[in-house]
Chains A and B, each alone.
Chain A
């Protein structure tokens, strides 16, 4: 069926089976490959996107769910995401980098909701995202740093 998606404030008219998971619609049909496939069963968070500001694992929802809503992916930009990128850069966080799209999106969702996250807040918000390289301590530090940068700018 014909589907109209809005991703990072840009419209995409695509042809897809309505039950196609949003992840594969974004990657294979729209052609934005920054959002990653990791498990296909909402266990690893590599495919995390924001839909109308809510954190969603895009492998677990049909593309039809996102119609008429605003999808935000790693290819996008927001004030929070830019502070996180700066902090990720400062902390030299990634190793292989593959999971980092999902980590950054999950962290964006966290900082959009909680301005001063505690370690426990970060543990709760980020434990759906697996990093096989094991960069968790750096991610945690970077989130604290990004929060500080963001709060300073307010």
Chain B
């Protein structure tokens, strides 16, 4: 991060949408994390702001999108803690999409990871300035003053001055150099590592939180778009008569597909747009359209046949992936105990409760957008590209997100809204139906994996061969990207946490016929399923208890530096494993028909282990209990981490039990929550989350790491309960739910 500065320029304060006056501190935080989407380069510094007003209010400009991960509360708490602020004076203002706020791409479980330290330093800086101002007033040394609960206290006399009353004086104090800052010790934290309730609770329980779909502008129209059932198909012809006769419909027209340039952006699918006075009229008008499509080359895409194709390919030699080590063929030859297995994960879709939607107003040489986006800067840059409007004339207002899970990183729906607004010359909100969301998404890829392993007479793994067929996310940015890319394989395949002497990873061809995107936990869903299922199979073949087998396979204590700031530490992985074995009482006597399953995974630099208990009654499976342990380093907001891990267990259950997108003749066969099913209250197990106390270590990911372990742990538990090995998701396909 850069040095922290006071930003006094009035025009600038206005530019970032804060009231003038008080102290405004800013600093520049740059992130070097690899992005899925190329990020626009920022030239404007600083990019992180807090403001302290005379009434004591502290406003943090929230640059990250809130989609349920609690980031607004978490980041504010870090500043408040270092500042010795009273939580009730903290408020947040959501930043628009602009490179001046640094990297805003909210995915990869990275917000806390990259922004905690700068936030703490900002808080400490503000505190020191307030103390300086008070010391001057009292004519004391700064060391004779301390800050406490929004006051600076005179340690000699016990006098105290309210933060707000010091603002004018503090604004004149030179911003202290970072070397002068003393960050609080872990034991002195007041908010960090404790439980803070969501700062937005009141709005969430009164229906007043403003999501994208709630945006209302005078005289705005509502729109729905009929898109081709086959990916990238186009409109051949259409009859608009019935649609136009629908009550409330005002306009019907063709929307051309906007093709993204290679390497960046998402574009828009195009189709036939229906403009109306309310959302329902637009939906009705859309249903009344009669459209003939040019389906294009993806018409032949049948997902079941495709999985068969991948299955054949993973049973033949693939491309060797670097990171392989030793000689697996020799290991297999030497062993008299080898096993093989093939695992399948279907296409999946995010299905956030709030469907994709955006409100746009194209005003000639200016665009204003209100949308639930995870990556507002890419949305803005994309609009500049397609509509040839200077970036500075485009405002992307970020609303609350009714769930994101990666879907709302892709700004196709924002592009659509602007294209519609440009055409009708007024504000318009495009709303996807749930069917649109299920059938025209950027899908989480399907995968087929073949694994072969060998054991020696002591039950030690001597060889591990893994072949993966996985359509690549890169295909959405670069056509003909027919193999999973390096950054995808590096999510649990090339960097599995096992201590293997002979390891060979091969990559097989997997073309894309759908738009492929990323969903919460991304490729870790595939790698964790393959790895953990196979380890359980190996443990059984070795006649060992899976817990002991895992401990041994993770191997001796070692730290692998890697290229990131967060080295892999095998000890921490074994620790979560031991912890969850304890909390689940692993090895206990179980009721008849019950089974326990274990899974361990390292993702987004966090360490997670899960034990699932299932029961089987008349061949139907019920998940009874889930115990999860996570080591994510320093915990910012304990209850929020717990909530995320509980939610991850349910998200993992949904995909394990029901999640499946299939296509026939290029078209997605699922429609809505009736056939793309979700875990519901009646299916929800008891969930017990244990957070490892590791407050002296850097924070790592929380939003995603809890998901990948769930499906394999469930399948391993089913094997333990019934002897039935499920190698293909979802369980519904095996008649188990």
User: What is the interface residue range for chain B against chain A?
Assistant: 35 or more
* Cα–Cα distance between A136 and B648 once the two chains are bound (Å): 12
Closest to B706 in A: A134
A127 within 8 A of B: yes
Which residues on A sit within 8 Å (CB–CB) of B647? 95, 133-135
Which residues on A sit within 8 Å (CB–CB) of B651? 132-134
B646 engages A134 (CB within 8 Å): yes
B window 188-244: CB within 8 A of A: 195, 197-198, 200-211, 213-214, 216, 222
Which residues on A sit within 8 Å (CB–CB) of B203? 97
Cross-chain contact of B643 among A23, A27, A138, A140 (Cβ < 8 A): A138
* Cα–Cα distance between A87 and B192 once the two chains are bound (Å): 24
Which residues on B sit within 8 Å (CB–CB) of A124? 682
Per-residue CB proximity of A92-124 to B under 8 Å, as 1/0?
101111111100100000000000000000111
A80 within 8 A of B: no
B646 engages A41 (CB within 8 Å): no
CB distance from B689 to the nearest CB of A (A): 10
A97 engages B280 (CB within 8 Å): no
Which residues on B sit within 8 Å (CB–CB) of A97? 68, 200, 203-204, 209, 400, 402
A41 engages B434 (CB within 8 Å): yes
Closest to A88 in B: B205
| With A33-B216, A39-B673, A97-B402 as contacts: A135 and B643 at CB distance below 8 Å | yes
B674 within 8 A of A: yes
Which residues on A sit within 8 Å (CB–CB) of B654? 134
A window 50-89: CB within 8 A of B: 73-75, 85, 88-89
Cross-chain contact of A20 among B66, B278, B679 (Cβ < 8 A): B278
CB distance from B610 to the nearest CB of A (A): 14
Tell me what chain A mostly uses at the interface: helix, strand, loop, or mixed: loop
B650 within 8 A of A: yes
| With A28-B280, A134-B679, A140-B684 as contacts: A98 and B201 at CB distance below 8 Å | no
CB distance from A137 to the nearest CB of B (A): 5
A96 engages B402 (CB within 8 Å): yes
Closest to B438 in A: A39
| With A99-B353, A135-B643, A136-B681 as contacts: A73 and B207 at CB distance below 8 Å | yes
Cross-chain contact of A123 among B208, B279, B681 (Cβ < 8 A): B681
B583 within 8 A of A: no
* Cα–Cα distance between A35 and B213 once the two chains are bound (Å): 11
A39 engages B207 (CB within 8 Å): no
Cross-chain contact of B434 among A39, A73, A85 (Cβ < 8 A): A39
B207 engages A101 (CB within 8 Å): yes
B window 619-657: CB within 8 A of A: 639-640, 643-644, 646-651, 654
Closest to B644 in A: A95
A34 engages B206 (CB within 8 Å): yes
Which residues on A sit within 8 Å (CB–CB) of B434? 38-41
B283 within 8 A of A: yes
A95 engages B643 (CB within 8 Å): yes
B588 within 8 A of A: no
B window 388-439: CB within 8 A of A: 400-405, 431, 433-434
B684 engages A100 (CB within 8 Å): no
B198 engages A94 (CB within 8 Å): yes
12 A-B contact pairs sorted by A residue (CB < 8 Å):
A17-B247, A27-B279, A75-B208, A92-B198, A94-B201, A96-B352, A97-B204, A130-B353, A134-B649, A135-B646, A135-B647, A137-B686
Q: Which 7 A-B pairs have the closest CB atoms?
A: A34-B207, A134-B650, A98-B402, A96-B68, A95-B68, A97-B204, A74-B207
Which A positions have Cβ atoms within 8 angstroms of B?
16-17, 20-21, 23-24, 27-29, 31-41, 43-44, 46, 73-75, 85, 88-89, 92, 94-101, 104, 122-124, 126-140
Which B positions have Cβ atoms within 8 angstroms of A?
66-70, 195, 197-198, 200-211, 213-214, 216, 222, 247-248, 277-281, 283, 351-355, 400-405, 431, 433-434, 639-640, 643-644, 646-651, 654, 672-674, 678-682, 684, 686-687
